[in-house]
């Protein structure tokens, strides 16, 4: 019997276990899912994924469904969803007629991303302005060496009403509550 396909034991890109008769040990599940063993343990602790049980040697075992959940979580994280949001998405995946709820989550996520992009654009403009100002100050005040005086640090000191202290930490000191 000849086939145009070939059989391989290698994990290929896009490989998904559909109807796996057996189960995988946690290390193999981690490799297939593209995460670390510690990540799988963390996801289990949060209730994002479950394991099929344990082997006679005590290893956690995972079947095709759990591997799909694992890759689902990883892909959702790549899209910027938090673990809490992913838990909601996993729950929605078990229901019917949830498209509007998922769309709502996507709209909120997209709005949050747009806000971050706008914030980063404002920050970029502020930093570019600060750099231009710094360069202009250094050109105008040639008597100062670049190593001796930084116009941005001087400006930040003036803005914060600093008394010349180079670094002020608001972190608690050890032993203080």
The predicted model gives 30-36 an average pLDDT of 92
Q: What is the CATH number of the domain that holds 43?
A: 1.10.1660.10
Residue 76 domain boundaries: 24-93
C-alpha angle 131/134/135, rounded to 5°? 90
The pTM assigned to this predicted structure is: 0.61
Four-CA torsion 25, 26, 31, 33, nearest 10 degrees: 110
> In which residue are the tokens 């079947």 written?
63
pLDDT in tens, 52-72: 788 888 888 899 889 999 999
* Per-residue model confidence (pLDDT) at position 163: 53
Number of domains in the chain: 2
User: How many CA atoms are closer than 13 Å to the CA of 94, on its beta-carbon side?
Assistant: 7
Is residue 170 a part of any domain in this protein? no
> In which residue are the tokens 């930040």 written?
156
């Amino acid at each position: 019997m000849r086939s145009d396909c070939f059989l391989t034991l290698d994990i290929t890109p896009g490989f998904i276990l559909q109807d796996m008769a057996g189960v995988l040990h946690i290390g193999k599940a981690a490799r297939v899912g593209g995460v670390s063993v510690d990540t799988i343990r963390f996801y289990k602790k949060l209730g994002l994924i479950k394991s099929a049980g344990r082997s006679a040697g005590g290893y956690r075992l995972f079947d095709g469904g759990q591997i799909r959940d694992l890759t689902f979580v990883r892909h959702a994280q790549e899209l910027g969803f938090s673990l809490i949001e992913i838990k909601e998405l996993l729950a929605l995946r078990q229901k019917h007629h949830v498209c509007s709820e998922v769309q709502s989550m996507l709209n909120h996520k997209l709005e949050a991303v747009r806000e971050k992009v706008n914030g980063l654009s404002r920050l970029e403009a502020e930093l570019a302005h600060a750099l231009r100002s710094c360069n202009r100050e250094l050109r105008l005040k040639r008597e100062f060496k670049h190593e001796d005086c930084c116009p941005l640090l001087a400006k930040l000191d003036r803005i914060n009403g600093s008394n010349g202290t180079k670094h002020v930490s608001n972190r608690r000191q050890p032993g203080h509550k």
